Structure 1
Amino acid sequence: MSDEAATVLGIDIGGTKMAAAIVSADGEILTKDLIRTPPGGADQVFAALAELVGRVQGDLHPAAVGIGSAGPLDQQHGLVSPVNIAGWRSFPLVDRVRALVGDVPVTLGVDGHCFALGEYWTGAGRNVDTLLGIVVSTGVGAGIVVDGKPLLGQSGNAAHLGHVVVDLDGEPCACGSYGCVETYASGPRMVARAKRRGWRTREDVDAAVLSADAAAGDEIALATFDDGAQALAAGIVATAVTVDLTTVVIGGGVAKAGPVLFDPVQRWVKRLAQLPFVTDLTVEPAQLDNAGLLGAARLGWDSLQASTAARVAGVATEVNALS
């Protein structure tokens, strides 16, 4: 196998930034670049992505492409409608990327799935077969890896843990429901809740400031993080008893709060996880800064291996038919 055939292109698309990398079979990033996601219409956003891919790809011809995108998406048809990229609605991302890179396998996944897959491949989950990965940032995303494979679901949108309802009488969520995990645990919603309780009401602040105040002992900030941790723990335990897993990895901007978030999450998980097969549930911080990008690349590798296996099986069938 040539050096070119031994690489894949990973693409990670979010509302704030887009990243791309050439990745080897063992998860080593060979080249990487990122840009801010531009505002504008569908073609303007894709033009920026195409320029990024061209820079990263250079003269190489990767054997496959994996894409992680904010959802929701239609995996069967390769369409994306990211809630945080207004210009893309039912955008044919897979077809457009394939037109850039040539006739190679192009696989699409939700960014939360890619985060979980990246941590499974080379991060905090590399010594387990099954895990739940959660990204806590401006929203709450998640992905599940079962026996080394991402759990995608019928449409490719499985594991939307941020929209698991944990309080039937809770606050309205942007999704249209009430009391979702995201309404309690996302950065912006925690800041808004703390302000309603009297915290820094006249200041333009974010979750990083809230976590710093919590670490310094501010009672409102601590109580707000405890609320978010309780919601996360409820979603974690509900997922664990459904899927039968014991390893949880949390990343994202809010997770940088460290013990301010992880201590109450672990406390609430211990309190809520009572069935015997989840009493040893562990929650740990992500180890990678680029888990989503690596997970997207891993999607590409898995697709390449599947297509190669199918091709070999087809050749074997033809040989058997002729013999």
Structure 2
Amino acid sequence: MTTTTSNRYALAIDLGGTKVEAALVDPNGAIFPPSRFRAPTGRASSSDQLAESVRTVIRKSTAALPDDAELLGAGIGSAGPISLSRGEVSPLNLPAWRDFGLRAVVEEELPGLSVSLRGDGNCIALAEHWIGAAQGVKFFMGMVVSTGVGGGLILDDRLIDGPTGNGGHFGHVEVGGEDTVCGCGGTGCVEAVASGPKTVEWAQAHGWTGTTGEELAAHYADGNEIAVQAVRRSARAVGHAIASATALVDLELVAIGGGFSHVSADYIALVAEAITDRAAFPFITKVRVVASALSHDGPLIGAAALVHHPERLSEAARA
């Protein structure tokens, strides 16, 4: 078999609260479209059903590997928390999996290949830093606002994931003035306030009669008062938490992706506006907030970066 730089692929896997997705990604960060497959997950799924969904997308994606190509290894981005050393995941929105050995499942499907696991927020940060909105930015946070809220930190050009792999777990930073109880046991966590499902729940509790994030977006565009309040509450919580993160690690840029970040055309602007409350601290208000440059591809591209660009990880993580 003859391979070139462009046909040496990484298998990228993205596990979330509603689906698992897999695809082959080349060294330039491009997804090979015929290899992209997804299968359902969800809160009601059993452990066996979740594992079978993972195996299904792996088998379909690897079957699409071109005859003249090489598979280098696999990268997994998973909703967290995770255990980096044990290769286990405990996604908050997938209760059937607690300390589940996801890396071992993938290794069984890909004998002889290396498999790397990180939190999905970290993968999003890696993707934006590699080929997205944060190219050339040394101090950066990538984040997603969707079924959950996640994040990943790039500090001085290196991913900071910590000894357990859970560094940058932005969704479970608490927001001042909020008392919503989070599934993690905290009170007022960004995820419990600002995620799509939790924002829909808040709107319903205040008299809104819709049921989905898509309906909330439509009613926001129509000027429905409760929908407007709900979306602004979500954006404000995200903005205040970004301000706190910037106070801690002096961020230059934050890029936001995820389905719920598209709930309104001005969502990113509303997040940025909330940061201006810290006007007395210019080093906080200088942080720029932009939309993800990678849309829904970020988690897969970041998972592939674990294979194609291990030098972007911290030295401790590589060890």
Answer yes or no: is the 8 Å Cα contact 1:105–1:304 preserved in 2: no
2:265 paired with 1:259:
yes
Q: How big is each residue's C-alpha offset from its partner over 1:101-151, in whole Å with a ceiling of 9 and x where there is no partner?
A: 122321100111111211222222224233111211122111112233321
Query: In structure 1, what is the equivalent of residue 249 of structure 2?
Result: 243
* Of 90, 110, 114, the match for 2:119: 110
2:303 paired with 1:296:
yes
Matches of residues 1-323 of structure 1 in structure 2 within 5 Å?
A: 2-3=3-4, 6-30=8-32, 31-37=35-41, 40-58=45-63, 61-167=70-176, 170-200=179-209, 203=210, 205-272=211-278, 274-288=280-294, 289-303=296-310
Report the RMSD for the aligned CA atoms in angstroms.
2.3
Distance of aligned partners of 1:188 and 1:121 in 2 relative to their CA distance in 1, 3 Å threshold: same
Unaligned runs of 5+ in 1: 307-323
1:302 alignment partner AA: H
Q: CA deviation at 1:32?
A: 2.0
Equivalents in 2 of 1:197, 1:36: separation in Å?
31
Give 3-state SS (helix, strand or coil) of 2:112's partner. coil
Answer yes or no: is the 8 Å Cα contact 2:141–2:251 preserved in 1: yes
Q: CA deviation at 1:13?
A: 1.1
Distance of aligned partners of 1:209 and 1:274 in 2 relative to their CA distance in 1, 3 Å threshold: farther
Q: CA deviation at 1:273?
A: 5.4
Give 3-state SS (helix, strand or coil) of 2:72's partner. coil
Give 3-state SS (helix, strand or coil) of 1:283's partner. strand
Answer yes or no: is the 8 Å Cα contact 1:61–1:101 preserved in 2: no
Equivalents in 2 of 1:137, 1:181: separation in Å?
12
Unaligned runs of 5+ in 2: 314-319
Answer yes or no: is the 8 Å Cα contact 1:115–1:291 preserved in 2: yes
Equivalents in 2 of 1:304, 1:285: separation in Å?
26
Give 3-state SS (helix, strand or coil) of 1:107's partner. strand
Distance of aligned partners of 1:169 and 1:128 in 2 relative to their CA distance in 1, 3 Å threshold: closer
Distance of aligned partners of 1:16 and 1:101 in 2 relative to their CA distance in 1, 3 Å threshold: same
Deviates more, 1:156-165 or 1:216-225: 216-225
Give 3-state SS (helix, strand or coil) of 2:97's partner. coil
Q: CA deviation at 1:156?
A: 0.5
TM-score of the aligned structures, taking structure 2 as reference length: 0.87
TM-score of the aligned structures, taking structure 1 as reference length: 0.86
Query: In structure 2, what is the equivalent of residue 310 of structure 1?
Result: none
Percent identity over the alignment? 35
Answer yes or no: is the 8 Å Cα contact 1:8–1:23 preserved in 2: yes
Query: In structure 2, what is the equivalent of residue 315 of structure 1?
Result: none
Query: In structure 2, what is the equivalent of residue 314 of structure 1?
Result: none
Equivalents in 1 of 2:118, 2:84: separation in Å?
7
Q: CA deviation at 1:276?
A: 3.2
Q: CA deviation at 1:294?
A: 0.5
Larger Rg: 1
Give 3-state SS (helix, strand or coil) of 2:223's partner. coil
Query: In structure 2, what is the equivalent of residue 321 of structure 1?
Result: none
Equivalents in 1 of 2:126, 2:178: separation in Å?
34
Equivalents in 1 of 2:56, 2:170: separation in Å?
33
Equivalents in 2 of 1:61, 1:42: separation in Å?
31
Answer yes or no: is the 8 Å Cα contact 1:194–1:224 preserved in 2: yes
Give 3-state SS (helix, strand or coil) of 1:159's partner. coil
Answer yes or no: is the 8 Å Cα contact 2:22–2:37 preserved in 1: yes
